[in-house]
Amino acid sequence: MNRIKLLLLLFTVAARTSNLYGADTAPLVQSKQGMVVSVNPEASDAGLQILQSGGNAVDAAVTVALALAVTFPEAGNIGGGGFMMVWPGAGVDPVCIEYRETCPAAVGRDTFLKENRQEGHHTVGVPGTVRGMGLAHQKYGRLPWASLVAPAIRLAQAGFPVDKTLASGLNRLIEQTGEFPEFRRVYGKADGSVWKPGDRLIQPDLAMTLSVLATDGPNAFYEGQIADKIVAEMKAGGGCLTHDDLAKYRPHVRVPVHTTYRSYDVFAPPPPSAGGTQLIECLNILERFDLAALGPKSPRAAHLLAESMRRAGCDRVRFQGDPEFTPVPARLVSKEHAEQVSHSIQLDQATRSEDLAEDLKLTDEPPSTTHFSVADGAGMAVANTYTLQNSYGSRVVVRGAGFLLNNEMTDFNWKPGVTTRAGQVGTEPNVMAPGKRMVSSQCPTFVSRDGRLQLITGSPGGRTIPSTVLCVLVNVLDFQMSIRDAVDAPRWHHQWFPDHLQFEHLGDPEYAEQLQILKQWKHNFGSDIKKLGDGYRRQGDAHSILIRDGTLYGASDWRRTQGKAAGW
């Protein structure tokens, strides 16, 4: 092995440490040359190998996204969509490549008025991932497209070892998916036995699909044999997606939403991401209070987090949708708006969510994503969050193509005008319309200072996503935690309705006094303690990178799987 190869050895540490939950946590990984942090070790390693081969952060991000479509099928995908934040380098403004799914042309505002099923062909939106990755590569990539697809092809052809989480998920879904025989064929074991950790999952149909994409490019997904298979699947199952829907799909390059927080700049995805706007609004509200003086275990700090989340969640419901269909008020991310809404926060009393939007008619009618972060040694970085919506999406595997389709149509408001105290939303900005993008909570985020990138983060978790990202940011920027401790720390969430404050450690005696004070201030924790048993909620999966003095510090989250931070 020559000297250069020795310098490119993967930095690995065998030791494990215990996080705040007593569970095993991967150690903090340090690097000068490049870092990939994702939910899956094989995907992280694939991205790192691209960096080692001369690729940049976008090249590695495309590779990780495609590899996760093989190794993390509950959310990694080529049949879904998402948001990629790109930090091109010092002195260049960050951009958001938005590749959110769209509503098929045959679907209107009342199409699913009487439909309640959350999986199946009718829930499939027009996928954006492949053209999104193609656009990112076209604008910023350095290596040939085919070389970025190759690692995913190898993983699908040769297989990879199934971990405990994937084995459990596949066994559960195979048992539940009698109406989806292709799912059972592709993800079931040939001998009919259950999956066990260490078994090898091989996906020849997916390998063939990826090979077509490698040879013919991203458009092959939307026009050609792959598109033919998608449309045939839709026709067989009564779905709405057509050849025309696929051919017309386009991702967008958008300007991120931005704010200053303390002495930092924060950038997040704009609409149709509601998550980015919610995060910015929360930060603008919290900036008016001295969180650092309160400390991370202070009841008042938790109260202020909850009240900022509550107000941003209400504004989301009232105003946010696809900006091509509904103008989203720019004032939502302004300091002036934050000052105005912060006046309604009482320091020792929770606000009733109902009081924040008296103009919305409320009734009592009775509700999977993954994030990864990448940084190269030249100053380029990527924060990418993408999804199939629910875990394993629609449960529809395209016959003969080996990949899952999303159920993103469920992110629209299916019942216009019906907004409930239980959390159902029927406000007009996110009602279905042909070609419209559904609102998303996804929130890949950059934090910089004096023009230098400091933090890359994001998370899955549906409506909890902006709350999780907010908690990580406050932990680092206000409470001065290391990125390892910031990712491990317990997380809070409030989304306006249902009017419940969620906390990962509800049953933990260490937080009993803090929670008791919050209850005295009229915060409602619902029945979560009874449901959770041990009191430990799992919120998000924030694979993050902190940058200090030219050193990259990668922290994988352990909440879904062990994940991996890979650096060299």
User: Comparing C-alpha atoms, which of 477, 129, 97, 368 is closest to residue 469?
Assistant: 477
User: Comparing C-alpha atoms, which of 284, 255, 282 is closest to residue 271?
Assistant: 255
User: Comparing C-alpha atoms, which of 353, 273, 286, 283 is closest to residue 313?
Assistant: 353
Other beta carbons within 10 Å of 445? 30
Tell me, rounded to whole angstroms, the distance of Cα 217 from its chain centroid: 25
Task: Specify burial of residue 531 (Cβ count, 10 A radius: 0-12, 13-18, 19+).
Answer: exposed
Known catalytic residues? 369
Give exposure, 142-175, as e/b (b: 16+ Cβ within 10 Å): bbebebbbbbbbbbbbebbebbebbbebbbebbe
User: Comparing C-alpha atoms, which of 319, 320, 306 is closest to residue 353?
Assistant: 306
| Structural tokens at position 460 | 């899955």
- What is the radius of gyration, based on Cα positions, of the chain? 22
Contact 72, 165 (CB under 8 A): no
User: Comparing C-alpha atoms, which of 295, 399, 309, 381 is closest to residue 345?
Assistant: 309
Single-letter amino acid, residue 57? A
Beta strand 419-420 with 362-363 is parallel
| Structural tokens at position 504 | 């990962």
The string of DSSP codes covering 270-308 is: -TTBHHHHHHHHHHHHHTTS-HHHH-TT-HHHHHHHHHH
Cα angle: 15, vertex 28, 20; to 5 degrees = 80
Distance, CA of 59 to CA of 141 (rounded, Å): 5
Distances, alpha carbon 67 to alpha carbons 40, 78, 165, 207, in Å: 9, 10, 17, 11
Other beta carbons within 10 Å of 562? 19
Single-letter amino acid, residue 233? E
